[in-house]
Amino acid sequence: MRILFDKDEVRRICEEKRCAGFRIGFVPTMGALHEGHLSLVRRAAAQSGFVVVSIFVNPTQFGPGEDLNKYPRDLEGDSRLLESVGADIVYAPDKASVYPSGYATYVTVERLIEGLCGLSRPGHFRGVATIVAKLFNTVRPHVAVFGQKDAQQAAVIKRMVRDLDLDIAIDVGPIVREPDGLAMSSRNRYLDSEERSEAAILSRALREAETMVSSGVTDAHKIKAGVQEMINSMPLACIEYVEIVDREELFNVSDVSGGALLALAVRFGGTRLIDNTVLLPGKG
Amino acid sequence: MRILFDKDEVRRICEEKRCAGFRIGFVPTMGALHEGHLSLVRRAAAQSGFVVVSIFVNPTQFGPGEDLNKYPRDLEGDSRLLESVGADIVYAPDKASVYPSGYATYVTVERLIEGLCGLSRPGHFRGVATIVAKLFNTVRPHVAVFGQKDAQQAAVIKRMVRDLDLDIAIDVGPIVREPDGLAMSSRNRYLDSEERSEAAILSRALREAETMVSSGVTDAHKIKAGVQEMINSMPLACIEYVEIVDREELFNVSDVSGGALLALAVRFGGTRLIDNTVLLPGKG
């Protein structure tokens, strides 16, 4: 495995591999890797012959007051983990090479970015779509793997790839959870022990919603109310949103009979956590 | 030469040529081809072994009330011309395949789109950057050729290519003019004989500005005033703008000592014409 910092070198190697007939898999990350990321790299490795993982803490997807500066960085530790799961290249560009002086171009995906996390994080998905487009143009993967944990991000990237005629398959890997159900996240380490303990309510509330749907409830309002009530039973939890939306287009739905995404964002102290599940009647 | 309508077929052929070692040249057009376009295709052919020309009247770069519907279309005639100058593929997608239902993604280049044509054509350069990004992603050229006639467009595309890490050289071909100096344009055919005759003032005014600069004038205000006065001597001319700007970043400059772009847009009746020249002291 090689750790590369130079865009042109990554591009040249990937182009050689592509023309030599290798299928190229790609997983973009911000580092601070956990088992969730590693599961995505394993998925990429299972679907391709050459795996590139990028590590770049992308400033344009952080809002003012968000955790850009304290976001954990550990290239050495991350690289060891990536080697163990079959990455061939770690691409870790520096900020100045990604956003040189005079930078002016942004990719926006309308509509899908309006609700959910887009409401409290204006500009976030513009930053995400732009950096992912840039990384795609450097690596030119056949397949790129994203996590279902960031469901809105996955929907935005799928839409972008289709719309911009990028010839890239987008594969979405399932959420990986801690033993108590908490979705793995680089931000979980910000939680103190009390917050950490309460945060397990999120996945329990999602499981409860699945159970309601399995037992025949399809009214989105009722399902959301049940989820909100469970979360609000935790003294430190502060709900940002609990929404039930179309799985691809992310507009609000009032009934989950055709399947839907239940997504939530909840703050525990200064830490904002997201989680979600797909509700499929007849699934249970 | 082949005329293709299907994105995936164009992509497949270009990828094969690329991996076989061909250098791919690309000229995006809206059809209604004239000698200006053909000069760009010849430039592409001189720099590459496989030349793709797209013909697509892109609706997202037309504003309300602009000439989208009357814009001239003649695929057969255009194709004959393109074959004569060495095109290998004409790619002529239809609107529904370029902007399918649910389309939501746009590429914006900030700053450079604020002045000049961006003022009277809001959304125009977003439409241009987006369609060009899409075509680039399909063709994946090594070099793409644009005309200096659309100087702001060329600057926007150069910025986009650099910013989005597209590995494409942008080559800009000089303005091709009619015998009386009028810059060739698909829209010249909208002019009636009186307007057509008066429109020659634009290039004469640009030449006069070059002469002023050659004789030592560097004050942008003075040069613009001279140009405006000449154009205003024509009864049918209605100036939209005459500006002197930085050649790459397009911000207004007050002195042309370091070189500058003199650009103008003028209406004759219902027809909007643009033209420009690069002012280089010591050039004459």
Distance from CA of B278 to the nearest CA of A (A): 22
pTM score: 0.96
Chain B environment of A110 (Cβ under 8 Å) = 104-106
**Neighbouring C-alpha atoms within 13 Å toward the C-beta of B233:** 10
Q: Does A149 touch chain B (CB under 8 A)?
A: no
Distance from CA of A153 to the nearest CA of B (A): 14
Q: Does A108 touch chain B (CB under 8 A)?
A: yes
Structure confidence at residue A284 (pLDDT): 46
Interface predicted TM-score (ipTM) over 0.85: yes
Q: What is the pLDDT along chain B (284 residues), one digit of tens a residue?
A: 999 999 999 999 999 999 999 999 999 999 999 999 999 999 999 999 999 999 999 999 999 999 999 999 999 999 999 999 999 999 999 999 999 999 999 999 999 999 999 999 999 999 999 999 999 999 999 999 999 999 999 999 999 999 999 999 999 999 999 999 999 999 999 999 999 999 999 999 999 999 999 999 999 999 999 999 999 999 999 999 999 999 999 999 999 999 999 999 999 999 999 999 999 987 54
Given the residues B37, B124, B142, B221, the one annotated as active site = B37
Q: Does B94 touch chain A (CB under 8 A)?
A: no
Structure confidence at residue A281 (pLDDT): 86
C-alpha A63 chain-centroid distance: 17
Q: Does A52 touch chain B (CB under 8 A)?
A: no
A37 is catalytic: yes
Average pLDDT on A61-74 reads: 94
Structure confidence at residue A282 (pLDDT): 76
Distance from CA of A137 to the nearest CA of B (A): 6
All structural domains of chain A with their residue ranges = 2-173, 186-279
Indicate if A186-279 has the same CATH topology as A2-173. Answer: no
Q: What is the pLDDT of residues A208-257, one digit of tens each?
A: 999 999 999 999 999 999 999 999 999 999 999 999 999 999 999 999 99
Q: What is the pLDDT of residues A127-163, one digit of tens each?
A: 999 999 999 999 999 999 999 999 999 999 999 999 9
Residue in chain B nearest A12 by alpha carbon: B167
| Nearest CA among A138, A144, A129 for reference residue A58 | A129
CB contact under 8 A, A134 and B19: no
pLDDT over threshold 60, residue A44: yes
**CB nearest to A111's CB, from B18, B104, B107:** B104
Structure confidence at residue A49 (pLDDT): 98
Superfamily of domain A2-173: HUPs (3.40.50.620)
A 161-190 residues inside an 8 A Cβ radius of B: 162-167
Q: Does B97 touch chain A (CB under 8 A)?
A: no
Distance from CA of A138 to the nearest CA of B (A): 6
Given the residues A37, A124, A142, A221, the one annotated as active site = A37
CB contact under 8 A, B165 and A111: no
B186-279 belongs to CATH 3.30.1300.10: yes
| Single-letter amino acid, residue A264 | L
Distance from CA of A267 to the nearest CA of B (A): 30
CB contact under 8 A, B137 and A112: no
Chain A environment of B104 (Cβ under 8 Å) = 109-112, 159, 163
Q: Quick one: three-class SS letters along chain B?
A: CEEECCHHHHHHHHHHHHHCCCCEEEEEECCCCCHHHHHHHHHHHHHCCEEEEEECCCHHHCCCCCCCCCCCCCHHHHHHHHHHCCCCEEECCCHHHHCCCCCCEEEEECCCCCCCHHHHCCCHHHHHHHHHHHHHHHHCCCEEEEEHHHHHHHHHHHHHHHHCCCCCEEEEECCCECCCCCECCHHHHHCCHHHHHHHCHHHHHHHHHHHHHHCCCCEHHHHHHHHHHHHHCCCCEEEEEEEEECCCCCCECCECCCCEEEEEEEEECCEEEEEEEEECCCCC
Per cent of chain A over pLDDT 70 is: 99
CB contact under 8 A, B167 and A137: yes
Chain A environment of B109 (Cβ under 8 Å) = 104-105
What Å distances lie between residue B47 and A8, B22, B173, B174, CA to CA? 22, 11, 12, 16
Chain A environment of B103 (Cβ under 8 Å) = 163
Chain B environment of A135 (Cβ under 8 Å) = 165
Structure confidence at residue A283 (pLDDT): 52
Q: Does A112 touch chain B (CB under 8 A)?
A: yes
Q: Does B106 touch chain A (CB under 8 A)?
A: yes
